Structure 1
């Protein structure tokens, strides 16, 4: 898919990342863009805004964990002016009291790339690491857009003016459902739900981990479908998965953590298994409906 931008004669069509994308005027929208780009950069849904407007934030607007379980923080600076070293130092001082386990602070700014500031931040980072303190890096507007544009559906949500009309949106629908189909069965989760073979011991740890990660990931990147029937089925798919995952997590307490196992009566266990089996069958119906429609749409991809 191509961004809807102009090129000079003889030049190649630029990618979204190299296009001239204007920074938002709203600080709240800039935070939303940074949050979306952060989840893409670290391939993790486990990032959130820090508190709410008006609360003390200790130099941190967004925080979360990388897939290596490192605590990361982002301070967003929506400014048309240059960012100076003194501003970085001030944000570092604020973040010192955020969390003792903080691994790295990132300053995200709408400002353009600045080689002098980059050199200064690299030196600050090295000094802090040598002192066994959290590191610091800077992300300029170009860096943020590069991250955001690596996922076209996310980029489209913030900059729909860079895309063509409904045809492009339908392509995004197709791309989205294909990704969900691929992600859904990484550990065999969907095959398990859709099968009629109910395993008495519930869900294995690896599969349960896959369920939890996928559900957080899907919920962290909502998608506006241009195809109304798929939107309704997808919403029901998510609701059904939420109910199934909640129950599966409860079942895991019995078999993998030993919690409440002694307190539960045989009658409780029978009831629990019955409820889980019923929910699994309901989830299976929803999954089959979603997959049938998703595959049909994928097979009739708009060109």
Structure 2
């Protein structure tokens, strides 16, 4: 069992290193080919942080561990809204000037409800998956169009996020290294997670919802806390909403498009609705004073802890 836990932790470390390498490589290549720093920063802030979850779920779906992948996709959203955002706000109040984030949060709520409807028959079909993938494309296009009207301060934050060092060769090497590291990290996570979950009395779905989702989110949590200390509330909330949208549309949609995805009854009745409720709770925070206070951050953390306790107790009965 010690060996299994060792591979699980090592896999998490590889995912963290690989995800960071992808972001730096993408920044460098975008700069080399003259792409807009604003556009590059927008994509990387909003969607690049989902790369570890995407790779893990792709591996899980490929080997037939669909329950683990499903749990990770939904569990990552709950961790994003509860732990990542909550702990960052507890570190320092988050001032959010990026006004496109509120409409994007509404997109998540609408798509979350739509996903519940699509899964009401107990499966996400390939057609359902294609619809979610099309929704991802539409969300990216909307994010670009809506963000162009944001303030110069927000554009500066996104521009600065896309800054990186190194020439073409170094950034290509970063991508190659990231591909190798992410491949092995995902392999070790997927192969060890069932045994890790079993040692904690968890089935595949709950393993994906809790230890895998929390583990793959640890780098995001650390980055969010640092960004909060620097006064970069836009980056924190952008990461959370963008990553959640990516998990919902690209990750779940990609899995279903690859192979019809059976859904447990709890997905429609509990896990996905819980993610929507967290998003609904966040909406008035962004629409009000554009500030997530320490108190509101504490509420999000306590709400996630309560959800986690309920899930663990309910599954043990």
The two structures have a TM-score, normalised by structure 2, of: 0.28
Q: Which entry has the higher C-alpha Rg, 1 or 2?
A: 1
Query: TM-score, normalised to structure 1's length?
Result: 0.29
Relative contact order: is structure 1 or structure 2 higher (C-alpha 8 Å, sep ≥ 6)? 2
